[in-house]
Every structure is written in C-alpha cells, then in structure tokens.
Amino acid sequence: MAIYHLEAKMVSRGAGRSAVAASAYLSCSRMLNNYDGVQHDYTRKQGLGWRQVFLPATAPAEWQDRETLWNAVEETETAKDSRLAREFVAALPIELSREEQIQLLQDFIKEQFVADGMCADAAIHDPYPPGHNPHAHILLTVRPLDEKGKWQYKTEKEYLCVKDGEERGFTAAEFRQAQADGWEKQYQYKVGKKKVYMAPSAAQAQGYERVSKYPKSTKYGRQNPITERWNSDEQLILWRAAWADVANRHLERTGHEERIDHRSHAERGLLERPTVHEGVVARAMEKKGIISDRCELNRQIKADNALLRELKAEIKKLADLVALTVPVVAEKLEKLRSKVLILCYQLSHIRVGQKQYQETLNVYRSQMARYTGLVQQIKDKSKERKALLTEKKTLPARKIFKHKELASKIAELTEDLEELRSEKALLLKHLDYAEDAEAETFRKDISALEASLQKLEAQEQKYSVELETVLQEYAGVKAQSTGLDPVELYEARHAIRSGYEAAVNEKLEQAYGDKYSPLRWMEAKRAQAKLTNDSMEEYAARKLAKQKYKSMSQPIRGWKQEQER
C-alpha cells in the first residue's frame, strides 16, 4: 500500500556529518573528502537501485561528478558548524515499477529543486528483501548559484547606519552608495561610564572616545532571499504537498487507485485521533479498512448488545404464546427465523474480524522483531561511535594517519546511524506510529490486539450459545406444528416472510452502518436455511400442494368430459 513519508533533515558539520560522506553513502561509492582528508568507502553497501546527479543550467559541467560537486560544497563552507546540504528521505509507492519510481523521482527533483537553482544528488535504496521498503535519498545544495555558476552568500553582514535620527540596515555594497547620501555607520563611544553607539560625526563634535572598531550591525546579518525561502517552514510545506501531488499523478497515470496525502487528519476533515483508550493501532487499522481495535469493536459491541436485548425480549414474548393455530405458528417460526438470520450475520461479521485481527497480529509481530533489531543496531553503533570519538579526542595530534582512520570510521558510523534511523522512521510510518514510539509501545499494542482477539472469541462463543438456544426454540415450535396442514403453514409463512426479512435487513444496516455487507447478508440466509432445514420442508410442502391441486381438479375434468358426451 502506498504511504506518505517525506523526511527532511540537514547535513551539517555541527552534527558530525559531511556532504561527501552523505553522497558516498547514498550512491554506494568511494569518495575522498578534501576538507579533512577522510576517504569514505561504501562500495560494499547493498540495496542500491538507481543514482543520478541533477544540475541547473548555470552549474559547472564538472559537477556532474558527485565527488567534485560535494568537495566544492565542503570547500565553500569554512565554519566548523556549517550547514552543508539538505537531505530528503522519501518512501516510494510500492505499486510502481522501478522504472516508474525513477520517473516519479526525476519529475519531482527537476520540478521542485533543479528548476529553483539547486544541485541534487539522488539515489533509490531498496534493502533486502527487495520491494518491501523502497525509498529515495535526495541530497541538495543549500547555497544558490549566480549566473556565472559561482556560489552566492547565505548571509551578508548588515550594518545599522544612521542619518538625521533614522536607523536603517545596509550591506557593504549598499553602504557604498548610501554613504554618498549622508548615511554613517555607528560605533561604540564612551559616554561617561556607558558605551553608546553613535555616528562618528556626532561623537567627534562632542569629543567622545571610540572604544570599538566594529560598527553596529544586525545579529545574524541579512539572509540571502533565496536561501531564506528555502529554509522557511512555508517552503517545506510546499515541498511536502508537491511530493504527494507528483506521486498521485504517477499512480493515476499507471492505473492505480491508491493515493497519498501530506495533510494531517484534521486538515483533511477526518475524525480526530483515537483517544488513549482506543490507541494508535485502532486508527491504523481504521485507515486500512480493517475492523479496528477499541474503536470499531466498541461500536460493534454496542450495536450487538442492542440487537441481543431485542432478541431476548422477542423470545420471551414467543414463550408466552400458547395458541397453536397456523397464523400464530407461522409468526413464531418467522420471528425465530429472523433471529437466526441476525445471529448468523453477527457470527459471520465476528469471524471476518477474527481473521483480520490474526493477520494484523502476524504483521505486527514480524515488524516488532524488525524494529527491535533496528533499535539494537542503533544502540550498538552509537556506542561504538562514542568510543571512537573519545579515542580521537585523546589521541595526540602528531598521529595524523590514526586521526584520519578514526575520522573515516566515525563518518561511516554516522552515515550508518542516519540510514538506520531513517529505516526506523519509515517502519513506524508504515504502521502509522509517531516517530518517537519505542519498543514498549509496540508490545503494548500487540498485547492490545491479542486482548481484542480474545474479546472477539468470547463474543463468538456467546452468540453461538444464543444461536443454539434460538434453534432449539425453533425446533420446539416446529415439533408443535406437526398436526397442522403443512401446505397451509408453508403459504402462511411465505406470506409474511418478506416483511420480516426486510425488517431484519434494515436493523442490520442501521446497526453496522458502513460496515454492513450485502454479501454477508446472503451468506447469513444460506447458513440459516441449512441450520433450520427449511429447504427440504418447503420442497415437501410444495409437492403436497401440487398433489392437492391435482386431486381437487380431477372431479372437475371428469364432469366436463361427461357434459361433452
């Protein structure tokens, strides 16, 4: 089933990552990072399905080589905590073939990123077993390019200048023009015991001493408008919506009915999230069209209990009837037949639910084992990375080769951790869990499913006992009717049967709502006919009716022949 998942994250030195390492990982290749001299080798990594570099028209042609591209990024970003790249991890619709997935990814990248001036490095990973979790990694540059293919600035120093008491911000280029109009930078001057920002002309007139050579400026500088837009929450929302639109367009084009949606339940006008008593599993099952846990089960139990109370009341009324006439017996039998129909429908509904619960449990138990393995791998690799960081920190600076070796191992572990966390997030998304769900949540939900399955089994047993009671009552009324004319009883029953069936069908439709199934209703009628053995008795009654008609018509035919003579 197609799911929506588009995870966005930054590749930054502050988090211990590098753009070269991230690119080597997604492309399963070997690349040298010129910034720190670390070689990243992921050529033995399994699961690579496709990879490609996308460049805007202004980018240098040599950047088609991903190692050259990301080393250019590393060279430009000089700060120790620089943001180097933006990364997206997207779940690919399993309904599409690999060629269709590639076309989907190419359209999305070209329309949303390359057309906006970004360089993109993308790959499809399909880890073992193939087809169960295909996803794409998209690595994007964070600096825009100018018309000559040079990197633009992310942020630019903005000086707060004054003129006639007005303060305004200017970049260095803007200030060169503004200075001619009388704008001045502000510096700190000592005024008594205080330090005050003033224009040089005003300070010199009063004989104040300047205490700092740095002019007054905004705290973070002026951000590049393009970079500011790329980093905005509004742009992320647009990208998320675009992924859903492109994926749905390709699903529709290839003839698939499945669709994905980036919006939350509230935004789509759906019901609110289940309460604590219903839990996450109920909502997941509701979305997949499965009988849910505490949500649908509670509705079903209420409807069933209402029907059972009505059944008991009707059975009590039947017990009070003592008259043994054809109309009364026909009414008794048809009412009891209606109760059998209801119980057969309820039991069929419950057994379908039991099957779906069991299938869901099998899936969750399998995914629980997979989730536990991912969590353990993350713990082990985090522990190993921490140990290597400690070792690198205490290692003497003169051991350059050892430093490089440790740095390479740390980078490899960092990328492994990112992939494991992404796989964990995708797994949780498949099951419609929050990203901060832990193993204990899995166990609780599995226990809840097992408890719900036990409740269904108890309901089945209860309704089976109730059905047996009604069948015994039905057999008792049939035994009392042995002295009645079977043909007359058959005709009386069929005269009122359609009305009873229509009433039962309407009750079931009201009780089950959208979950009502006409096919299950037909199955209930077949099961009722088999349990009450009506078919054979009705066949015998029709045969007697034909014989009775022949015997009654024989004297009339003889009289007509006598008259003709």
Across 15-29, 267-281, 383-397, the highest mean pLDDT is recorded for: 15-29
Q: Burial, 393: exposed, middle or buried (Cβ in 10 Å; 0-12, 13-18, 19+)?
A: exposed
DSSP alpha helices (H): ranges in 271-325? 279-287, 294-320
CA dist., res. 441 & res. 375, Å (int): 13
Phi and psi, residue 84, nearest 5°: -100, -35
Looking at the predicted structure, is the pLDDT value of residue 18 above 90? yes
pLDDT at 31: 96
Looking at the predicted structure, is the pLDDT value of residue 278 above 50? no
The DSSP call for residue 172 is H
Q: Are 389 and 407 in contact (CB under 8 A)?
A: no
pLDDT at 188: 95
pLDDT at 90: 93
437 band by pLDDT with thresholds 50, 70 and 90: low
- Predicted confidence (pLDDT) per residue in 216-238, tens digit: 999 888 888 899 899 999 999 99
Quote the tokens at residue 555. Answer: 């004297």
Quote the tokens at residue 409. Answer: 């191992």
Nearest by Cα to 96 from 137, 126, 54: 126
Q: Burial, 149: exposed, middle or buried (Cβ in 10 Å; 0-12, 13-18, 19+)?
A: middle
The mean per-residue pLDDT over the stretch 441-462 comes to: 84
pLDDT at 155: 85
DSSP alpha helices (H): ranges in 437-485? 439-480
CA dist., res. 122 & res. 101, Å (int): 12
Looking at the predicted structure, is the pLDDT value of residue 247 above 80? yes
Count how many Cα atoms sit within 13 Å of the Cα of residue 30 in the half-sphere of its side chain.
4
The better pLDDT of the pair 364, 376 is held by 376
Instruction: Determine what percent of the chain is predicted with pLDDT higher than 90.
Output: 40
pLDDT at 160: 95
490 band by pLDDT with thresholds 50, 70 and 90: confident
pLDDT at 271: 39
Any idea where the domains of the chain sit in the sequence? 6-149+227-253, 155-223, 286-532
244 band by pLDDT with thresholds 50, 70 and 90: very high
Least confident among 2-11, 363-372, 433-442, 507-516: 433-442
pLDDT at 549: 52
Quote the tokens at residue 89. Answer: 């991890």
Least confident among 340-344, 408-412, 439-443, 453-457: 439-443
22 band by pLDDT with thresholds 50, 70 and 90: very high
CA dist., res. 70 & res. 121, Å (int): 9
- Predicted confidence (pLDDT) per residue in 546-556, tens digit: 555 555 555 54
Quote the tokens at residue 190. Answer: 């000592």
Quote the tokens at residue 54. Answer: 């996308």
The mean per-residue pLDDT over the stretch 173-178 comes to: 91
- Predicted confidence (pLDDT) per residue in 413-424, tens digit: 899 888 888 888
- Predicted confidence (pLDDT) per residue in 189-214, tens digit: 999 889 999 999 999 888 899 999 99
pLDDT at 27: 95
* Locus of tokens 């492109």: 246
306 band by pLDDT with thresholds 50, 70 and 90: low
pLDDT at 286: 62
Coil, strand, or helix at residue 36?
A: coil
pLDDT at 326: 80
* Locus of tokens 């139990």: 301
Quote the tokens at residue 378. Answer: 């993350």
Quote the tokens at residue 58. Answer: 């202004």
Q: Which amino acid is at 78?
A: T
Looking at the predicted structure, is the pLDDT value of residue 32 above 90? yes
pLDDT at 511: 87
Looking at the predicted structure, is the pLDDT value of residue 148 above 80? yes
CA dist., res. 522 & res. 528, Å (int): 10
Q: Are 7 and 427 in contact (CB under 8 A)?
A: no
The mean per-residue pLDDT over the stretch 55-62 comes to: 94
Looking at the predicted structure, is the pLDDT value of residue 277 above 50? no
pLDDT at 302: 63
Cβ contacts of 461 within 8 Å, gap of 6 or more: none
- Predicted confidence (pLDDT) per residue in 253-268, tens digit: 999 888 888 776 456 6
Looking at the predicted structure, is the pLDDT value of residue 124 above 70? yes
* Locus of tokens 């059975």: 315
CA dist., res. 162 & res. 184, Å (int): 6
Q: What is the CATH number of domain 6-149+227-253?
A: 3.30.930.30
The mean per-residue pLDDT over the stretch 33-51 comes to: 93
Mean pLDDT of the chain: 83
Say how many C-beta atoms besides its own lie within 10 A of residue 471's C-beta.
17
The mean per-residue pLDDT over the stretch 429-453 comes to: 72
